[in-house]
Amino acid sequence: MTPETNFGVIVAIAFAIEVASRLWPTPRPKDMHFGCARCKDQDERVACGNAHTKAEFELEDVWGAHRGAKMHIVNLHLERLRRHYDVAVRTYDVISFWDLTHSLRIWADLKRTLNAEIPAFASTLAFKTGIPAKKIRRLARGHEHVFAYMPGGVMTYASGGELIGTHQRQEKGTLTSWVKRNTDGSIELKNFCFIDDTFDEPTMKAMSAEEVTRCNYMQWMGAEAVRVAYRTSSGDLERVAISREQMIRRVANTLDGSHPSKPVSDQEFANRLDAPIRVLLGFRMGGIPLPYFIGLNVAQDILAIGPKLLGQSL
């Protein structure tokens, strides 16, 4: 063959390969798919019309195609959360709380991806969530109240061992909690309960009664972390149940943890959860606001359970 003929053959082969690759694309292995549970291919994910947050898109794109890379990224986020937790559990200040809530926002964004890509997060009922028992909920009807029930409790050194609980309505109401001081100087808080009414001692002791449910990671993120009933400016009793995910996102936003918040007077941009979260900031244990304990409890559970679920998925 002449050089011209050889060149023509090479061009023809290259053209044939290109046509074949378009007509019969090489299927990607299952582990190379990334996207939501229903949209395994990136192109399908964009076209499907399902609701995906910008943060979920970015996280999935960073994970890329390889399962090992995905596990590595999750472990990096675990280490990042652990570092912020280690600071927040020993020192309470605005900056440590900002950093903790901002790191927890990543874990809220990861919920669908973890369920879809790491089987143990979807199939294992490793997380616990609690609400007050029915008899306690009946007692609270018609009254302002706050319930934050944390199965397993939460531990912190930041209060300096102080156990006194306070609230913004010092003149009345009943505040109870399961709390103890440990020999190492830490305190443990399990259930926080406030009802704007007075009760006898047996009833107060019964307020720690809870209903505990086991759930997977996505269910746990969406489950109730705290419920609050408060008086609005018009005097109406507003009742709100706030999930862990909502708590993480709104505390980070309300307190400027993720980006500058809007002025309290700017009603046009006010979120419906900002008012109840500001109410929660007025409830303290050992001088530390209740949302700190809730955020610390969420981080504590992720750090305790997350590595075990990742080990199951290797």
CB proximity list for 80: less than 8 A, separation 6 or greater: 103, 106
Q: HSE on the CB side for 87, CA within 13 Å?
A: 15
* Total domains, the chain: 2
Same domain, residue pair 80 and 153? no
pLDDT digits over 223-240, tens only? 999 999 999 989 999 999
Same domain, residue pair 221 and 290? yes
pLDDT digits over 253-311, tens only? 766 544 455 554 444 445 788 889 989 988 888 888 999 999 999 999 999 999 999 88
Residue ending a domain, choose from 72, 87, 117? 117
Cβ atoms within 10 A of the Cβ of 222, count?
A: 15
pLDDT digits over 112-164, tens only? 889 888 999 999 999 999 999 998 999 899 999 999 999 989 999 987 656 66
Residue ending a domain, choose from 117, 147, 181? 117
Q: Which domain holds residue 61?
A: 34-117
pLDDT digits over 77-115, tens only? 999 999 999 999 999 888 899 899 999 999 999 998 898
pLDDT digits over 181-217, tens only? 888 888 888 888 889 888 887 788 788 788 999 999 9
Same domain, residue pair 89 and 72? yes
309: in domain: no
Q: Which pairs count as long-range contacts for 306-309, CB under 8 Å and 24+ apart, including other chains?
A: 306/74, 306/78, 307/78, 308/126, 309/118, 309/120, 309/121, 309/124, 309/126, 309/217
Same domain, residue pair 139 and 282? yes
pLDDT digits over 30-58, tens only? 333 334 444 444 443 333 444 445 455 45
Same domain, residue pair 172 and 279? yes
The amino acid sitting at 147 is F
Same domain, residue pair 220 and 296? yes
Cβ atoms within 10 A of the Cβ of 58, count?
A: 11
Same domain, residue pair 82 and 178? no
171: in domain: yes
Same domain, residue pair 214 and 75? no
**pLDDT recorded at residue 203:** 81
